[in-house]
Structure 1
């Protein structure tokens, strides 16, 4: 995990994030669930925190949060551009229907369930050769908590099932 510091995205940072993403795609899923400072995962998924901002407990005017959001968006845009050049255009995935479905008691597969509680949307690329998909999103657990640039990997079939409540 990288904590956000003021500054621009270096090519070394970008290459480091791309390495972590490639590792997520090829690494076996953990046999049991885990949650630590780098992210979380389980038998069907893995989520990695690529970058995190500071917390916003004392950000009364919201300026620090706006600056951190702009910083995260810069990193997300750079990663999306690099991955689009490698793998083609991503699918934009609206996570709100998954959040609603989960709140209504429907089963939502991981990591989509976790992501829907942190982010409103993600950019995703299916990788049939791995039987997986990769998603990138900016998420936040609550307004006082850090913004996080997240990379998630799950089974392709879960992403292709589409919006909850639809067959």
Structure 2
């Protein structure tokens, strides 16, 4: 499910998102980069769009964007609660240092590089499979574009760029 539904919080959608997260964690990483309607990925990561709002081209007052963000935040909070019950408290990863490093020309690994351009932070859990982690974030490519609830699986979870800015 990648489009916003009218109405209130749906526990059926939450269960679907948890199922998609479990699938995402179980899937092997792709051999090559890909991008489609449900997400993108590469040899060491996968990103799944769990839910997306409408676009905001005609949202001059920002009211629609605020309502969409509140809806996505409700789902994000419910997912965080469910995953915290499974795996304990998440790490809060500030993505701004990665964005700064990237803008200064430093190499930043995926999916953190692209994610830092969409979101300011993410909630992340190291997974029971060594070398895997799960992250959740709300991101937006530009103010006119849809807000997206994202689930991210990567091989290595950088906690901050190294001295050289590489992660």
TM-score w.r.t. length of structure 2: 0.94
Q: SS state of the match for residue 159, structure 2?
A: coil
* Partner Cα distance (1:85, 1:47) in 2: 22
- CA shift for structure 1 position 11: 2.0
**Where does residue 108 of structure 2 map in the other structure?**
108
Give the structure 2 partner of residue 76 of structure 1.
Answer: 76
Instruction: Quote the RMSD (CA, aligned, Å).
Output: 1.2
Contact 1:101–1:165 (CA<8 Å) still a contact in 2? no
Residue-pair matches, total: 164
Q: Which residue of 2 aligns with 1:6?
A: 6
Match runs of 1:38-117 below 5 Å:
38-117=38-117
SS in 1 for 2:93: strand
Instruction: Name whichever of 103-112 and 49-58 sits farther off.
Output: 103-112
The question of 1:24 aligning with 2:24 is answered yes
8 A Cα contact 2:118 2:139, kept in partner = yes
Unpaired runs of 5+ in structure 1? Answer: none
Match of 1:145 in 2: 145
- The answer for unaligned runs of 5 or more in structure 2 is none
The answer to whether the 8 A contact 1:25-1:130 is kept is no
Match of 2:129 in 1: 129
- Classify the secondary structure of the residue corresponding to 1:2: coil
Quick check: 1:41–1:47 contact (8 Å CA) kept in 2? yes
Asked if the contact 2:93–2:123 (Cα under 8 Å) also holds between the matched residues in 1, the reply is yes
Offset, 1:128:
4.3
